[in-house]
Structure 1
């Protein structure tokens, strides 16, 4: 009898876990930036008129993860901190991978700086918005990227690259850890 109850609870737990894992890590939403009842606590730009309790343009540094950055906004909604990243481009059915990884990096930075777990953030494009949830697999992907970047800096790793001036000229790695751009721009 007790084993049947334990088995039933375990089965329910596994079903709930599988449903949670199959949910998308983002939700497409109507384009809006703020939160009803939320308060801005951080803005990535200096202001002439400063509002009390808001941090303006400060570089946020995570010593734990070796990351630093400046999200466009951080809202406080109750006890929750929510980073918002504004993009000048448009997106269709899903957020761009690089933007998701940038937001996940902000999750880590905010968690280290404010000592509070971030549950979600928003990426706002010109035509739409996505709410991105702080999932374990996204954090794991970011940690893998950070490891690769560290190996690239140390010279222990070189990714497979198709050199193309058109593709390389706007790359973030250009003139930092990648030498390809210098060779293609001649």
Structure 2
């Protein structure tokens, strides 16, 4: 009788382990310990990550400890983009492959830069998780250069006081925090 209970508990334990691993794989998170999440109540970061050198601040949705590395994870509620013909310069994706939107890649690169400055070790990659798939984006020197050039461009636009709209999408205008004050809005 005791052997039957033992086997039943063992089978139940294995089933729960399998379900947990399956859930982890479906989440798009790498193996490792979730250091914090900005998506709910547990392990919240007290303050945003901040870079004194680059005057940059941000909070990725997750930070996952994977060995000695800290991996930033950004979760997007929409579906992954369709096939893109031209990759972002430092994205690590080749032409003709599906890849994240360039703005999402740069956002993740900013989190990689912040993790490096705040935790003292450069993450080898970050993850962008869409509703239907996840992308591992290698944090390369080319991607870091693209990020720093973009930050320089943004600072120059701020100093000029006049940044031009860079799209023709009314829905993006509607979602913008400057919509009510923008002279270039589409609606």
Q: TM range, normalised to the smaller chain?
A: 0.5 to 0.7
Equivalent positions of 1:76-155 (< 5 A) are 76-91=65-80, 92=82, 93-155=98-160
Give 1:35's aligned residue.
Answer: 30
Q: Secondary structure at the residue paired with 1:180?
A: coil
1:61 Cα deviation (Å)? 1.0
* 1:180 maps to 2:184: yes
> CA offset at residue 65 of structure 1?
1.1
Q: 1:109 to 1:90 in 2, by over 3 A?
A: same
Counterpart-to-counterpart distance in 2, 1:176 and 1:59: 27
**Would you say the 8 A contact 1:31–1:127 is kept in 2?**
no
Structure 1 residues 180 and 64: alpha-carbon distance in aligned structure 2, compared to 1, 3 A threshold = same
Give the structure 2 partner of residue 68 of structure 1: 57
What residue in structure 2 maps to residue 6 of structure 1? Answer: none
Structure-1 separation of matches of 2:59 and 2:180? 20
Greater RCO, 1 or 2 (C-alpha within 8 Å, sep 6+) = 1
Secondary structure at 1:94 match in 2: coil
What's the TM-score once normalised by structure 1's chain length? 0.67
Query: How far off its partner does 1:132 sit?
Result: 0.3
3-state SS, counterpart of residue 131 of structure 1: strand
**Pair 96,161 (structure 1): closer, same or farther in 2 beyond 3 Å:** closer
Q: Runs of 5+ in structure 1 lacking a partner?
A: 1-29
Whether the 8 Å CA contact 1:107–1:118 is kept in 2: the answer is yes
Does the CA-based 8 Å contact 2:28-2:133 persist in structure 1?
Answer: no
Superimposed CA distance per residue, residues 45-98 of structure 1 (whole angstroms, 9 cap, x where no aligned partner): 452xx5xxx443531111111111110000111101111111101113211111
- CA distance in 2 between partners of 1:107 and 1:128 (Å): 20
RMSD over aligned Cα atoms: 2.7
Which structure 2 residue ranges, 5 or more long, are not aligned?
Answer: 1-24, 83-97
